[in-house]
Amino acid sequence: MKTLIIFLFLFSFGVFTINAQNQATGFVYEDINQNGKKEKGESGIPNVAVSNGREVVLTDSDGKYKLPVGADHPIFVIKPSGYSLPVDEHNLPQFFHIHKPAGSPKLDYSGVAPTGDLPRSVDFGLFPGAENMDFTMLVFGDPQPYTRKEVKYFYKGIVKELEGVENVDFGLSLGDLVGDDLDLFQPYRNAVKKIGVPWFNVMGNHDMNFDVEADSLSDETFEKHFGPANYSFNHGKVHFIVLDDILYPDPRDGKGYWGGFREDQLAFVKNDLQYVPKDHLIVLAFHIPLKEGEFGDTFRDSDREKLFHLLKDYPHTLSLSAHTHIQNQDFFDSKDGWQQDCRHHEYNVGTTSGDWYGGHFNEQGVPVSMMRDGTPKGYAFLSFEGNQYFTKYKVAGEPEDYQLSLYAPKVVPQNEWLSAPLVVNFFMGSEKDSVFYRIDQGEWKPMNFVRTYDPAYIHTMQEWDYADSLLPGKRPSNPAESTHIWLGRINNHLEEGLHIIEVKATDMFGQECRARKEYRIVNRK
């Protein structure tokens, strides 16, 4: 009898815990009239993935799904190729329903208001239409304004030149949308919407609620303004996975943050990938790079290895990150835990804030803000052809072909010993690229790749240190070692007068760019 009572107690407890989670049900459907309501004649879409941030299920033949949801779960559709998402007045894609019956906890910056009971049917309307396998997107690193004045710098220096941009399907900001003041989320949204394309967002370490005790609550204000911090979608033959990769508080000591993933996030990636064809390109987007940075142990190694294990059967992959305020092309192989023969590429994208809005002001009244590795501030175009990709960096306010900077003396003595180098900063370059130079249309000679500081950036910084009075704006940050510098030799054993240096560089995608600079040889006698 006693055994029976224990069994009944355990059984009833098990039923209670299962039923404690609600079941979300609803439809994914073709919203023909685009009014956000499922109406007669609007068919459900089968085999579309829907998630609660951990589990992922497919809709049935009628477009219906069922998912367990707790007290703090987003429900979102994983957009299939061939469809587009509705957007709100800020051009933010509306692919989610936030289920938070009691709302966010009381925080310094407000989160989601109480959502109440789960609706009887949580439906997602998609707009059917042609979607090219070849397309282009925009990528921003760290807008990161700390004040409303810096939001204006972001708009005038970046957004304004992109207003009405053509042949771009959507954009993505890779975190640090603002600089700790989460009240700036709204001005940021107001700025980005003017570009005129759907815009996705990643959460950064300066976008978090810092007054929380658990990492799962650090995105409350982000969630209020942008939706889930972890989600995915398809476009063409590309599957995008967006993740919050900031562990806060740092699990090592409870202070600060660390790069990595929670168990539920990795479970989401695993469950999500089971419905993605192996020949699709997987693009992961997060804020903190997977590669260890200049400040030591910045990412939990075990989480990177777990992620790489989940990707082992996908031969086409790319990671996007920001955070560093420099620009890098990083590659991972077996010694990093990568489980494929071809290396995994991570593009650590330069920032739209550059060096945190430092430096001199340009003619627009906006800080020049060159990054610490000599990369001018700007943004990237990421283009796709099926499951292949190529990138191109755009320096803000400059022509599209400005991809190289040349540093060399303007005047050199004829036939004397000369130590001054020719330095080329190839903004999108990596060690695997080739850079050549020639003088006066002579023979092309290879330049030597080195890891060093950009002398042009050091010169800019030293202007502030040697000035006799305060200069307007902020002093640039101290330099960082650049991963895209090449060296050559200045030839001063030529005739007196003007001479021309030409440089050509070819990147990992076969894209060639060129630059030129003049210098003058003078005989002292």
364 and 215 together in one domain: yes
- Taking the C-alpha atoms of residue 276 and residue 63, their distance in angstroms, rounded to an integer, is 18
- Predicted confidence (pLDDT) per residue in 96-151, tens digit: 999 999 999 999 999 999 999 999 999 999 999 878 899 999 999 999 999 999 99
Tell me: do 191 and 300 sit in the same domain.
Answer: yes
pLDDT digits (tens, 9 = 90+) for 185-230: 999 999 999 999 999 999 999 999 999 999 999 999 999 999 999 9
In a domain, 9, yes or no: no
Q: Looking at the domain assignment, is residue 337 inside a domain?
A: yes
pTM value is 0.94
Q: Which of 395, 426, 461 is the last residue of a domain?
A: 395
Residue 19 falls in which region: left (phi positive, over 0), alpha (psi -120 to 50) or beta? alpha
Residue 476's domain is classified under what CATH number?
A: 2.60.40.10
Across the chain, mean pLDDT equals 94
Closest by Cα among 193, 191, 59, 220 to 125: 59
Closest by CA to 422, choosing from 496, 519, 497, is 519
- 74 within domain boundaries: no
Instruction: Reduce the secondary structure of 130-174 to three states and give it as a string.
Output: CCCCEEEEEEEECCCCCCHHHHHHHHHHHHHHHCCCCCCCEEEEC
The enclosing domain of 252 has a CATH number of: 3.60.21.10
* pLDDT attached to residue 10: 37
Q: Are residues 466 and 372 in the same domain?
A: no
Residues 218, 360, single domain; the answer is yes
Q: Which residues contact 281 (CB under 8 A, 6 or more apart)?
A: 237, 238, 239, 316, 317, 318, 384, 386, 387, 388, 389
103, part of any domain: no
Q: What is the C-alpha separation between 200 and 192, in angstroms, rounded?
A: 10
Strands 388-395 and 344-348: unpaired
Domain boundary among 353, 373, 395: 395
421 and 376 assigned to the same domain: no
Are 297 and 154 found together in one domain? Answer: yes
More confident residue, 21 or 493: 493
Percent of the chain residues past pLDDT 90, beyond the cut: 92
Out of 364, 395, 426, pick the residue that ends a domain.
395
Please state the domain count of the chain.
2
Q: What is the tens place of the pLDDT at every residue in 76-91?
A: 999 999 999 999 999 9
- Residues of the chain with pLDDT > 70, as a percent, come to 96
Residue 32 counted as domain residue: no
Mean pLDDT for 417-429 is 96
Residues 433 and 467 in one domain: yes
Contact in structure between 374 and 429 (CB atoms under 8 Å): no
Domain residues for 423? 404-522
427 with 384, same domain: the answer is no
Distance, in Å, from the CA atom of 333 to the CA atom of 175, rounded to the nearest integer, reads 26
44 domain-assigned: no
Residue 113 in any domain: the answer is no
